[in-house]
Amino acid sequence: MSVRVRVAPSPTGDPHVGTAYMSLFNLAFARQQGGEFLLRVEDTDRARFRADSEQQVYDMLRWLGLDWDEGPDKGGPRGPYRQSERLETYRPHAERLIADGHAYLCWCSGARLAEMREDQQKRKLPTGYDRRCVGLDRAARAALPGFSDTPVVRMLVPDDPPLRFHDLVRGEVSAPRPDDQVLLKADGFPTYHLAVVVDDHLMGITHVVRGEEWISSTPKHLLLFDWLGWERPAFAHMPLLRNADKSKISKRKNPAARLTWFVEQGYLPEALLNFLGLLGYSVPGEQEIFSFEQMSQSFDWARVNTVGPVFDLDKLAWLNGHYMRELSESDFAGRVLPFLQGAGLVGDPAAPVELAALTALVPLVQTRVALLSEVPALVRFLFTPEASFQVEASAVEKALTPANAPVLAAAAQALEGLDDWSAASVQAVVDAALLEDGLGLKRGKAYLPLRAAVCGASISPPLPESMALLGRERTLRRLRAGAALAADRESAERDPGVG
């Protein structure tokens, strides 16, 4: 039988990093086995449903290269793959369970259940449904207090439910005794527990690979598979991703729980994918840098971690740096482009001229940034028209001092006559004018005001290369403007009343 696995996100907001993590492990296993990977949208929780969330899940998984074989957008032989489109599928199974004595109608009102729970807590009893409705028909139940007109369907958990099961990651696992779980809600929607079992069966899922938070639900699922006469799938419960304080990663506490955060921050998808793999898996040889293919080819449940991996962003930054340096210049330029657009520095994404021009910048920045989002600040000086170019106040303060006015003027003068406007020639001319043979300055001191005047900031890509890219006219203009500004500050300092 061919392997079929699935990821089953609930579209309740920004996609969670756990969805990518589960997808990665499901897909790595599916590819190794020559099986299929399905995307099923579990949208039965209407209160928490968010319309744009499903598309975001698609976008984020595709960004990571975790594509699926069957899903709501792609169709497939076992669809529909959106639970809200399968509603009529679930009820007959619930009815069959009632007919077989494995489930019952429960008319207890929400208020009655809350009261019951409170009482159990007060008396330090285990909480759980007290089976008030078991054995009663509607009329008999209606005669008692706490009756609601629209019943739910509950499973009747037997005295000896299957509490132990085999897990591919953990070996033998025991889970606590389940409550009489609601299967069909008063609004006719199935709960997760009914829908997941029905769909996993009907979609031919052979291996349920999901987060460890579902271990305690597995006995209910096993009961349902058994009662409905369906073969149980294999189970693999992945360790939960954790914050540094070991708590479960949540979108409320940690921005990195949102997949879109990684895109915004300028992480590379290959780095995030490697990172997620590393959190839960070790490839043979234990190396930390590995591709999806390496993970998939070596895939072995025995290599999956059982301890909740800590989400260590320093490790991700390190991986990101590695993958950033690996990119070809044109690839790097293409990835930087959206960030330059986002910063308003360049326009049309399709303009090939821009991409070519951008490629020339890459050597200046590729090894200097940890994240793509850091690039715009470094190259802003190149994209700013002269009319709106301004030196940052802190750089003016520090570098465009009156004492530096002659340094800027000397550089401008020396560069005026330079024909070959390349980084090497620019550097040779500037150095001759400002270092030992010229003004006698050390290079650091000499470049400080030049950098401020030309790049507008105290931090920039290498200065000669920056000047070469900026071009003769613009460089000279900025050096002269910088010299004038520095000199002006002298008169302003002499006579603070002026200006």
Q: What is the Cα 142 distance to its own chain's centre? A: 50
Among 3, 10, 239, 476, binds ligand GLU (CB under 6 A): 10
- Cβ nearer to ligand GLU, comparing 218 with 466: 218
Residue 236 makes contact with ligand GLU by CB under 6 A: no
Q: Is 374 helix (H, G, I), strand (E, B) or coil?
A: helix
Burial 51-71 (b: 16+ CB within 10 A, else e): eebbebbbebbebbebebebb
Choose which of 214, 230, 318, 389 interacts with ligand GLU (CB under 6 A).
214
Nearer to ligand GLU, 83 or 466 (CB): 83
Block residue for tokens 């915004």: 264
Stretch that binds ligand GLU, among 6-14, 365-373, 403-411, 436-444 (CB under 6 A): 6-14
Select from 210, 258, 380, 478 the one that contacts ligand GLU (CB under 6 A): 210
By the rule CB under 6 A, 4 interacts with ligand GLU: no
Whose Cβ is closer to ligand GLU: residue 132's or residue 221's?
221
Q: Tell me how far apart the alpha carbons of residues 5 and 68 are, in angstroms, rounded to a whole number.
A: 10
170 touches ligand GLU by CB under 6 A: no
DSSP per-residue codes, 14-49 = SPBHHHHHHHHHHHHHHHHHT-EEEE-B----TTT-
Which stretch, 2-10, 99-107, 458-466, 484-492, contacts ligand GLU (CB under 6 A)?
Answer: 2-10
Is residue 181 part of the contact set for ligand GLU (CB under 6 A)? no
Binding residues among 399-428 for ligand GLU as defined by CB under 6 A = none
Instruction: Provide φ and ψ at 386, rounded to 5°.
Output: -55, -35
Q: What is the DSSP letter of 66?
A: -
Q: Percent helix, strand and coil across the chain, each rounded to 5?
A: 50, 10, 35
Catalytic residue among 251, 315, 398, 445: 251
Minimum distance from residue 427 beta carbon to ligand GLU (Å): 57
Among 5, 8, 361, 400, binds ligand GLU (CB under 6 A): 8
Q: Does 277 bind ligand GLU (CB under 6 A)?
A: no
Contact letters for ligand GLU, residues 18-57 (x by CB under 6 A):
------------------------x---------------
Coil, helix or strand for 258? strand
CB of 210 vs ligand GLU, minimal distance in Å: 3
Residues constituting the chain: 499
CA dist 406 and 480 (Å) reads 10
| C-alpha distances out from residue 138 to 91, 141, 146, Å | 19, 5, 13
From the list 5-13, 383-391, 447-455, 459-467, the region that binds ligand GLU by CB under 6 A is 5-13
User: Is 251 one of the annotated active-site residues of the chain?
Assistant: yes
- Residue 58 or 192: the one with the smaller Cβ distance to ligand GLU is 192
Helix 375-383 crosses helix 329-342 at what angle (to 10 degrees)? 80
DSSP one-letter string for 272-324: HHHHHHHHHB--TT--S---HHHHHHT--GGGB--S--B--HHHHHHHHHHHH
Nearer to ligand GLU, 179 or 329 (CB): 179
Min separation Cβ 77 and ligand GLU, Å: 21
Residues engaged in binding ligand GLU (CB under 6 A): 8-10, 42, 192, 196, 210, 214
Residues acting as catalytic residues: 251
